[in-house]
Amino acid sequence: MRALAAAAVLLAGCAMNDIHAPKTVTAGATGGAVTVNHGSRLRIPLTGNGENGLEWRRVEPPIMSVVAEGVPDAQGFMFTPVRTGTEKLRFEYRPMTGEGMAQRVVSYDITVR
C-alpha cells in the first residue's frame, strides 16, 4: 500500500514538471523588447478585472509573427511564434463597448528567432 502511495506521489510530481512542455517567455507588463524562439510560448501579462468596463485589446499588427492561443486568462495573453521576424505588438486598455479613448497603451517589440 505504501509503495502504491509513493508511486502516485512521484507520478503527480512528473505531471507538474513536464520537461517536454514548451518554454514560456513572460514579457514585462509595461512593454518593451522581447525575444522568443520557435517552439516556445509568449505570455503578455496584461490583465483587467472587467468590472470597470475596460478590457485589453490587441490593435497591432494585422499579420503576426506570433498568434494568440485563445482568449486572455487571469495571467494575460498567451501567444505562439509562427513566423521568424520582428514586429510591434500594441495593446490598448479601452471600454468593452469599443467606444471612447484608450485608458492605457502598451507596446512590445517582438523578435521571433
- How many angstroms separate the CA atoms of 86 and 37, rounded? 12
- How many angstroms separate the CA atoms of 38 and 28, rounded? 20
pLDDT computed for residue 9 by the predictor: 44
C-alpha grid cell, residue 1? 500500500
pLDDT digits (tens, 9 = 90+) for 12-28: 555 456 777 889 999 99
- How many angstroms separate the CA atoms of 3 and 71, rounded? 42
pLDDT computed for residue 2 by the predictor: 53
> What's the sign of the alpha-carbon dihedral 101, 51, 76, 81?
negative
pLDDT digits (tens, 9 = 90+) for 75-111: 899 999 999 999 999 999 999 888 889 999 999 999 9
DSSP state, residue 76: B
- How many angstroms separate the CA atoms of 86 and 6, rounded? 48
Q: 0.85 cut: is pTM over it?
A: no
